[in-house]
Chain A
Amino acid sequence: MAKRSAPEVNAGSMADIAFLLLIFFLVTTTIETDSGINRKLPPMEDQVDPPIIREKNILPVVINKNNQLLVEEELVDIKDLRQVAIDFLDNGGGQGEEACDYCQGKRSPASSDNPDKAIISLKNDRETSYKIYIAVQNELVAAYNDLRDREFKRLNPNLGLSYVEAEKRADDPRTSIEEVERLQPKLDAVKALFPQKLSEAEPSKPSN
């Protein structure tokens, strides 16, 4: 009778399997990168003569030391801030040369003329909490992003992307250069329609 022992399993291909797995994980894992709200600080040198801006083109947003939010001197809940900012930016109350043909706002003469002129002025106290400040910044950026999304979809209806998605794709290093070159002018066009004009006041002295 022939003595049969189980044949030894060939382990030669194990290394290949291991490398296959290794490459799979290498491709699929994305290293977590930090993210946050990007801002640009104004340069230090003072402007010689500050441009004259009409009162109605400024939306003053103040966070006081008790973390209360005041928009145009009125107490506003933070969850309404986005809509208030959108209404202000999208108002388009200008006439003639300052008219805004893509705005869908109320066109009230008491609010901003045109998104290019509209400035949101953010002011905070030294005692304001950073958390609240970030929440307000976030909502103001959201207002701009909402409006830019709307315009981006209107101008590029068959792209199937929102402004934020398109911007993310253009920033992604994995996107091909041709696609970035295709997206960038569209993004810039929308950016020009709603330029982010967020002014931060010089630090205010603690008020009593």
Chain B
Amino acid sequence: MSKFKKKKGGELPAISTASLPDIVFMLLFFFMVATVMRDSTLMVMNVLPAADQIQKLDKKDRVMYIYAGKPSTRYQDKYGTSAKIQLNDKFSTVADVAAFVLAERASKRQELQNVLTTALKVDGETKMGLIQDIKQELRKVSALKINYTTRVGDYAQNIK
């Protein structure tokens, strides 16, 4: 009898939850650091072509992004299926590129204005005509440093 009583008496000690906030903060910090914020929501399809002879892009504050490709499925009935340029959050035409670059350049700090890179995030299915037009516009405003942003992979993935 006494044996059973003993067991009942030895209750489990409450688990301390004092460190729970620490764990939560740790997770929070981890995700804060690891998440990459996307500046603008993509409105175009953006399957980048693959390449393996690549260099890392400059620091984020020295880069401006130009997206191009077919409008994504939910915009297709409104904008059609021909390739479009996306600057910031809206569809644009080639004529807007120069103004966009100048505005972006003006928004950067003085010392960065001459080292800006234009990252072209263009869908693999796009025709070169559009890209040539963009490049001509970039030359007009002498934004000469460009980067064809790609996926890491073998070039053979592009030929199919």
Binding site for B on A (CB under 8 A): 3-9, 11-12, 14-15, 17-19, 21-22, 25-26, 29, 31-44, 78-79, 124-135, 137-139, 141-142, 145, 167-168, 171, 203
Contact = CB atoms under 8 A, between A and B. Distances in A.
A35 B52 CA distance: 10
11 contacts: A6-B10, A36-B57, A36-B147, A37-B148, A38-B146, A130-B122, A131-B124, A134-B155, A135-B49, A138-B150, A171-B56
Contacts, number: 181
B119 A15 contact: no
Interface in B4-41: 9-16, 18-19, 22-23, 25-26, 29-30, 33-34, 36
B90 interface: no
A44 B57 contact: no
- Binding site of A, secondary structure by majority: helix, strand, loop or mixed? mixed
Contacts of B29: 22, 26
A122 B21 CA distance: 59
A18 B146 contact: no
B127 A127 contact: yes
B159 interface: yes
A134 B57 contact: no
B123 A34 contact: no
B26 A35 contact: no
B24 to A, nearest CB: 9
Interface string B125-160: 111110111011011101111111110100110110
Contacts of A29: 30, 33-34
Contacts of B149: 34-36
Contacts of B30: 22, 25-26, 29
- Binding site of B, secondary structure by majority: helix, strand, loop or mixed? mixed
A88 B52 CA distance: 22
A171 to B, nearest CB: 7
Interface in B88-147: 117, 119, 121-129, 131-133, 135-136, 138-140, 142-147
A26 B126 contact: no
B63 to A, nearest CB: 8
A36 B13 contact: no
A18 B19 contact: yes
B64 interface: no
A189 to B, nearest CB: 19
Contacts of B126: 129-130
A21 B54 CA distance: 33
